[in-house]
Chain A
């Protein structure tokens, strides 16, 4: 509605209420946190391959520090990179502009959500400055590891001493992060329900908007019990209650139930938005209508509901009732049916399409391929408690969940960045650097985790700091070699990301100027100018058709935007 005004840097990046600016703030913060997560994994992987002494850029690594780095790597990558990247960045940037409106339903709430998120980052990182050091009890925060030194167990500590610990700060950071994402999610759902353009019914929404909203709903449904659990754990640490203290009748496994009730849907919260991105990209670059649009939406809803009742498959080795374990196994394996249907629909979209191998398309193909072939299939095996009991504490599980989360957060996230970059910056990324970045990321990612699958099946336990202390524990030359291949690949993977950073920031100022609709795509955001001004559209668009009318028989052009009659 309004003309685009040039605003100052400070105003744009700190006080702007515009949804695109807030999305960009989330993106930069997530990249900043990813640098920490990436550095931590470099340090502890280097230790696993070459020993703890003289790690370049770090120095000597102690066993306690190893635990802290692993814990914070996991938490940062899931809560402070994954959640903002796929939910907050995509939701903020895409939802208003894809549904043809000017901004979120509650712009101020959106800003508060970002500030809360930034505060949670600061609280988490300041855990490293505490006298006892950062939290090192695993990102899942299982008691008794997360409470053992505190509260009732150590009557000499005061409230103040319990408060200024890595454990307390970690828990508070997680709680703040959830509050931030709750505010964001409420905004997404209300915006989608109430602010759609004229003629844009729910069944004409782009698939990625559907996915972000279903992911937000899933988050809302599942996060309550974990907030309750976090509250109880904080009480255990600070006030000395005994919820998770077996000595006083409490139950440590209760925490695992509360945590994984959230933890499993969380995987889908991270996966669904990026599946949505892949869907958009497949349809655009195959120049074909999206195959099975309604089927995919209903399958996602079914998978979302099922994901709320499979949590105990993370606890097969925690000593839960074997009868219950069988039921959870069955439900877990059933959940692969909707996902198989979705992959079928995606392949149907590609089938006999006029496929264009652009950089976003390559990332999207890489995402779906690695997620399905390794993440999904090994998940099917681990879902069966018979196999899981043997594999659970090995590197097989590590490789499995990295094959689900890395494609959905990193590959899907890069696909989204490369696809929508011309829109949000008004400039194009360098194509050659993009392709180098894709092949580097894809190859090195696989060469990290395929050796870990093998090591896991060989029986390499996943929570050991120094294998050389146990001669019998996988210290044959080929085991050491496999660990070293994984670590060297990781270092190359990190180096590859600098190509992306260079490309990203250079193109922001020096890239080729992008036209309005560089990919010839149909959705509404491509009808706004690049970059869209404050208010997004000069005239609010009216919508006449669904977003995937590629190669419509009545038209000469191979695309047909949603707002054309």
Chain B
């Protein structure tokens, strides 16, 4: 057994974390879907509409950031250290957070409060939880970036590159699903 090539422990650990996360979001999303199916009008008539068209730019931003991360990991597996790709990923992630934060402030100004009812409760909670995940993913990738800047040997860092990358893929691929459910559904 030990002679075979093993998957690194960090990758197994992140796979398990992502499974737990999927179950976590499955709990939230299924609660949301059932709540919306039970309601008479969804979204409620007296609530302001959400900005669907500005927000779709955010979907694109996150997906593009994942694409650049994919290029980076592909190169890293060949031994090429191209940190600019990683930098673009980080910048796009920050841009996403800024746009999303601005939208939140706008919505609060429009008068959507968490205590207004189920619709706003779910909207704010799910967006906030996803936002926290983006922040955590960014912290992981930024620490990776800083560590890679110091080392020249990229192979030793490959386990953490793939593991953190996996987490970022998860966060970015989750967002289109949430966008569809919260803004369009």
Contact = CB atoms under 8 A, between A and B. Distances in A.
Contacts of A239: 114-115
A105 interface: yes
A331 interface: no
Nearest to B121: A241
B16 A243 contact: no
The dominant DSSP class at the B interface is helix
A248 B118 contact: yes
Interface in A260-296: 261
A41 interface: no
A196 B22 CA distance: 29
B35 A194 contact: no
A392 B118 CA distance: 31
A190 B11 CA distance: 9
Contact of B129 (A193, A225, A231): A231
Contact of B20 (A198, A223, A250): A223
Contact of A224 (B23, B39, B118): B23
Interface in B22-47: 22-28, 31, 34-35, 38-39
A190 B19 contact: no
A31 interface: no
Interface in A55-90: none
A305 interface: no
B34 to A, nearest CB: 7
A225 B117 contact: no
5 contacts: A197-B2, A221-B20, A241-B115, A242-B115, A261-B27
Given A220-B16, A228-B28, A190 B121 contact: no
Contacts of A220: 16, 19-20, 23
A224 B125 contact: no
Contacts of B34: 251, 254
Most buried by B among A196, A228, A235: A228
Most buried by B among A105, A186, A200: A186
Q: How large is the interface on A (under 10, 10 to 19, 20 to 34, 35 or more residues)?
A: 35 or more
A186 B17 contact: yes
A223 B19 CA distance: 11
B9 A221 contact: no
B6 interface: yes
A249 B31 contact: no
The dominant DSSP class at the A interface is helix
Contact of A189 (B16, B31, B121): B16
A423 B27 CA distance: 43
A258 B12 contact: no
Nearest to B29: A228
Interface in A219-239: 220-229, 231-232, 235, 239
A293 B174 CA distance: 40
Given A223-B23, A254-B31, A196 B17 contact: no
Given A190-B9, A224-B21, A235-B114, A251 B27 contact: no
B114 A241 contact: yes
A196 B121 contact: no
B31 A232 contact: yes
Given A186-B16, A196-B2, A251-B35, A228 B114 contact: no
Most buried by B among A185, A224, A226, A254: A224
A163 to B, nearest CB: 16
A182 B19 CA distance: 12
Interface in A179-228: 182, 185-186, 189-190, 193-194, 196-202, 220-228
Contacts of B7: 193-194
B27 A228 contact: yes
B9 A105 contact: yes
A500 interface: no
A240 interface: yes
A24 interface: no
Most buried by A among B12, B17, B19: B12
Contacts of B26: 224-225
B98 interface: no
A139 interface: no
A313 to B, nearest CB: 19
B50 interface: no
Contacts of A248: 117-118
A386 B25 CA distance: 34
A232 B118 CA distance: 11
A330 to B, nearest CB: 22
A254 B27 CA distance: 10
Contacts of B125: 231-232, 235, 241, 243
B31 A199 contact: no
B1 interface: yes
A226 B28 CA distance: 10
B115 A240 contact: yes
B182 to A, nearest CB: 15
A50 interface: no
Interface in B68-126: 114-115, 117-118, 120-122, 124-125
